[in-house]
Chains A and B, each alone.
Chain A
Amino acid sequence: MTPAAESVISLRDVVKSFGRQRVLDGLSLDVPRGKCLAIMGPSGTGKSVILRHVIGLMRADSGVVAVEGRDIAKLSRQELSELRKRMGFLFQEAALINWLSVGDNVALPLRENTTLKESEIKERVQAKLELVRIPDTWEKMPAQISGGMKKRVGLARALITDPEIVLYDEPNAGLDPEISQSINDLLRELHEGLRVTALLVEHRVRCIRTVADEVLFLEKGRVLIQLPPREFFASDNPRLVQFLGTDPD
């Protein structure tokens, strides 16, 4: 089946196994342009695996993973690299390069992939640090900042190239409620302001309510239910009720 033309991100009948464990079992989903789709589900059901397929860090055993209508598996290394320059990825643990300062981490894609002057790079990085509300952290090393600040730096780095597509892997993981809410507000502002297309993996109900346009519940490698947040959290689906009964929020 060819990917849906109107979808920026499209998965069709994707299967992925690790050894004997089938993590994705014929999964299909679409994310329309400018929308944010959140993925919920029990741990180990392949939520992060979906993001890694979309960014091309993993290859599906079968099925099609397409971004902007282009099958990721059929792209050359160079084409994939060019496509990734239009995408941002916020890792669960931020994945900052530990021997680079905060500013140098955010500046890295610009220094490595563009011919921008250093003064222009510094200006852009500072603007992004201000956007994520950590303007005075340029010289700090990742080991010197808190988990919440690392997430913000990771977000600034993911957004430094002004991507059209952003993938978030549990942006609230390990954060206290206050910092979580400030991150959620920030993500909402970014989506309202920049209209990026986003795929969000998250457990926190509050984050999903704030950021997502639709929510998908993943069960046994397939989509169990997909609805707008208000309807999703009001659903009487027994499995969903059971899962949300353990809501950490």
Chain B
Amino acid sequence: MNILTPVMTLAEGLGRQIELFGAVLVRMHHVPARARLIAEHVYQSAFKTAHVVLVVGLFIGMIVALQTGIELARIGQQDQIGTIVALSMAREMGPFITATILAATAGSSMAAEIGTMSVSDELAALEVLSVDRVKLLVLPRVVALAIAAPLLTVLCDTIGIVGGGFVAQSQLNVSYQLYMDSAIEALRDPGRIFPLPKDVYGGLLKAFVFGIIIALIGCTAGLRAQGGALGVGNATRSAVRDSIIAIIITNYFITWALYQS
């Protein structure tokens, strides 16, 4: 295998996703006509995943509170737990954990659904019928995840902060009221772009971008699936793997853009 092969494969995949994103953008005026399909996909990806986000978000908040609280208690600064948990959840953990869950659930499901259509001639049927598959299959999924990811991130942030409060009160002797006051105070720092707390909209912006990335990667993998059940399996696996890698890389650049200056 040529040493450049992985680089070429990566560039090829990225090119396809950018091409698909462009195709989605030029069809954005069809969003109102696709409202019912978008609502169905939001329901599938957000509401059916909410319980997972709640459980994971709760325990992530508790872990962050416990890990940082133990260290802060050694220097008598445990009243700062609320600040650290709130900022961790809003800036990083909330959007990242939510995106990872969505990649494993909604993203893999998109790759499998569209992949199955591909290997069972349904995509060929759409082409033969002159039906625009980007408009029918990709646009609703991308818009749905762009909506669902921020919604679930708000849920994840909230439950994570609440979970951190339980740990602070029960194991670190920090009153729940003090914990919540410091958490809310930490999130009040206003941004320069929007009249909203910067850490909140920064996290939601990440979630919005992650949602689009997950849907694009899932749809691209599904559209290219071939070779029966094995092809669908490969598409699903590559969708989850590529989504998580793309989320981490994009996360760095958005964080850099938001907090570097």
Contacts and interface: CB of A to CB of B under 8 A. Distances in A.
Interface of A: 52, 55, 57, 81-82, 84-85, 87, 89, 91-93, 95-99, 108-109, 112-113, 157
B122 A113 contact: no
Given A96-B122, A112-B136, A84 B128 contact: yes
Interface string B61-97: 0000000000000000000000000000000000000
Contact of A95 (B121, B131, B135): B121
B196 interface: no
19 contacts: A57-B128, A82-B130, A84-B127, A84-B129, A84-B130, A87-B128, A91-B124, A95-B122, A95-B124, A97-B117, A98-B116, A108-B131, A109-B129, A109-B130, A109-B131, A112-B129, A112-B130, A113-B129, A113-B131
Interface residues of B, number: 17
Contacts of A92: 121
A93 B117 CA distance: 12
B173 interface: no
B interface majority secondary structure? helix
B125 interface: yes
Interface in B110-126: 113, 116-117, 120-122, 124-126
Given A97-B117, A112-B136, A57 B129 contact: no
A112 B128 contact: no
Contacts of B125: 89, 91, 95-97
Interface in B133-160: 135-136
B181 interface: no
> What 5 pairs between A and B have smallest CB-CB spacing?
A95-B125, A95-B121, A81-B130, A89-B128, A109-B129
Contacts of B126: 97
Contacts of B120: 93, 95, 98
A173 B127 CA distance: 23
B132 interface: yes
Contacts of A109: 129-131
Nearest to A99: B113
A29 B135 CA distance: 36
Nearest to A51: B128
A97 B122 CA distance: 6
Contacts of B121: 91-93, 95
Contacts of A95: 120-122, 124-125
Contacts of B136: 112
Nearest to B124: A57
Contacts of B124: 52, 57, 91, 95
A89 B130 CA distance: 12
A113 B130 contact: yes
A99 B132 CA distance: 16
B136 to A, nearest CB: 7
B54 to A, nearest CB: 28
Contacts of A157: 129
A142 B75 CA distance: 66
B254 to A, nearest CB: 34
Contacts of B132: 112
Contacts of A93: 120-121
Given A84-B127, A84-B128, A97-B126, 10 more contacts: A52-B124, A57-B127, A85-B130, A91-B124, A97-B117, A98-B122, A108-B129, A108-B131, A113-B131, A157-B129
Nearest to A97: B122
A236 B135 CA distance: 54
